[in-house]
Structure 1
Amino acid sequence: MSDLACELPTPTPSPLAVPAERLVTPRFARLLVMVFGSGLSMYLLTSVVPLYLAANGSGGVGAGLSTGAMMLSAVAMELLLPRMLRRFGYFGTLGLGLVLLGAPSLVLLFTSSLPLVLGVCVVRGAGLAIMVVGAVALVAELVPAHRRGEGLGVYGVVVGLPAVIGLPLGVYLTDVIGYDALFVLAAVASLAGLAMLPGMPRRSTGDEEHHVKVLGGLRGSGLLMPTFVFAAVTVAAGISVTFLPLGSDSHFAVAVALLLQAITAPGARWLAGRIGDRIGPTKLLAPAILLAALGAASLIFVGTAVAIIVGAALFGIGFGAAQNLTLAIMYDRSPKSRYGQVSALWNLAYDGGWGIGAILFGFVVAGTGYSLAFGLTAAIVALAIVPALKASLRATS
């Protein structure tokens, strides 16, 4: 009987019997804690710094420059990130990002001078770039490839929670605890993430990825479409969080709108990732951009509380879904050796659209008023529906 058993082939386990790989490992969990703190540091001050400058005489142009300076600084730093990751690894690079994002907030305790505040925004933008590029690249390595969309969705929920808390809370607390306490809170939120660094891998598992230039080899890579589509949406995102508090007379309505936008975005980001893993992210992209365009268009009625609240919810759904879908498309179209490039390129679209949109809007609104300027913003988002729809049709054919 034993001889017969030895001769029989060993049955192949059913795929259903193989236990699923764990998605949230201890390292992934430590990374999520870190990005939550750094995100809270960012979002507590995203709408507060423009208010701080406007309250001290810098007006709408100063408000737009503060957001633009932070995001364009992030763009410049993102071009250097693949090289920094190769030289210093995840441990050293993420540690530097936490310090640059958190510590400069304390300078705002002592000055409201526009040049100095812009300098703070520039340094914090560099820290922001390090955190978002490094974290997204690390997520792609820490989660199983067949669950990447879901892993990015979980990451999106956690990185979106600070927006849920920070955007409305920052605006609300300006009248409760004042600007100085908020600046200290923002510094502590980021610097506390240093305690999570000991659990982070010091090097990438694929060092060759960091030899790829951020803007190198894009022709024929399939990365340009999702990059430009996502940049169009982030233009509206940067404008809404910067200028909605200035364009509306009701801080309460703005706080509710920002809260809804912040809540819907991470939820949509997770759901889009989960569905996208099953049917393909390209098929969902055009509907996501359409929702974002409708939400942006509602801000034309910036003086109406219901319009900005409903619009913020619609935009949050479209924006959150677009975040996941564009990034998943880019990873699907790239080998592992280019994950660092994908992360940097996606974040260039995020921060570049956010920053450029805020700067240009600040000048446009001075001549047109808020309603027309918000209408132009919605038109930019709507234009991105065309390439997204073409890609979707190709994916279904």
Structure 2
Amino acid sequence: MSWPDSEPNPDLSVGPDLRQGWNRPENRRRGFHNAHLIFRRTLSIRARRILRLEDAPDPALARVADDLGLSRLPGFSALVVAEEGRVLCARAAPDFSLTRPHSIQSVSKMHMNLIAGRLIARGLLNPKASAGALLPGLGSGYRDALVGDLLDMNVANDFSENYADPAADCYREEEALGWRLPADGMPEMTLSQFVAGISGGDPVNRSGYVAYKSANTDVLTLIAAGLTDLPAALAGICDAAGYEGGFHISLSPEGLPALSGGGVLSALDLARFGLLFARGGRGIGGENLGCAGYIGTCRRAAGPPLSRARPGQRYAGHLMTDGTRIGHAGYGGQYLMINPDSGRVAVYLGVLENPSGYDEAFMARLVAALTRLLS
């Protein structure tokens, strides 16, 4: 019997450049705009009720956005500034829309703030516990790391997150996140296998700055999965935010959500997610996710500084904070920023098409611009 011809999946297969098809610079925009259709496996959730957002254009705010040139930044996809129930400013690129799904990459990590905050509040997760005590199979890179340090991105080990190096560990991690395939005939690496294989010694971060490692979120995902039903927790977040469209997130081979970066949301729904934080984790129906205290603690925490390029910003509890505004950046050109004092949120979605997909100077400019919109 003859078998039909087949070929490797061009989006998920890794080429000689060590990148999978959808994340090559020439394909990245299409990839980020269609990530929910490209990832190997995906969990999709719809909210029970939708938070209504009324168009309420603010001409003065629009002038500020135009002066800042946000819609002219490299790879611009969408911009939204909103307060509870109102969209004050909105822009979308000609090839995109405010309701179309977009990869939010590491903005996804903010879900871990909500999930961990609730577990801590309920006494189920101790920030002073070692990861190895909760996950006995961990290797030397994480077994002695403290949960609180994982949440604050304050752990030293051998995991490398250098986006300019296609052989860096953060790209190997993508196999365990469902973003790429191993070589033909090889089994897919599970999230558990990936984090267990990370090596290291003394986990204390002595660099003076954040030691940003997406694998920290992977370890926390495995820990949280042993303490709560993660799909149910994500469904609760979707209901509390009141998304209009679907929330999509890639899954590891063992079916765990890729909280380190696999989330996909439209610009308007990402604004709804930000508004959930602005309300202190209280849902659109008044339901309490039980994490308001943790959000407030992280907002004012003296976590490690982010970088020299972003003075004043620190990292705490899977949030980036300057003591007033909270949020998170995403690989490729995303940022969600929230000012809980005013209740205003700003969303920027974009796709950097340079070789690495990252530019620290770009992110510093973006943070400054969004800060001005929320001032």
After TM superposition, the score normalised by the length of structure 1 is 0.28
Larger of the two Rg values belongs to structure: 1
Structure (1 or 2) with the greater helix fraction: 1
Structure (1 or 2) with the greater strand fraction: 2
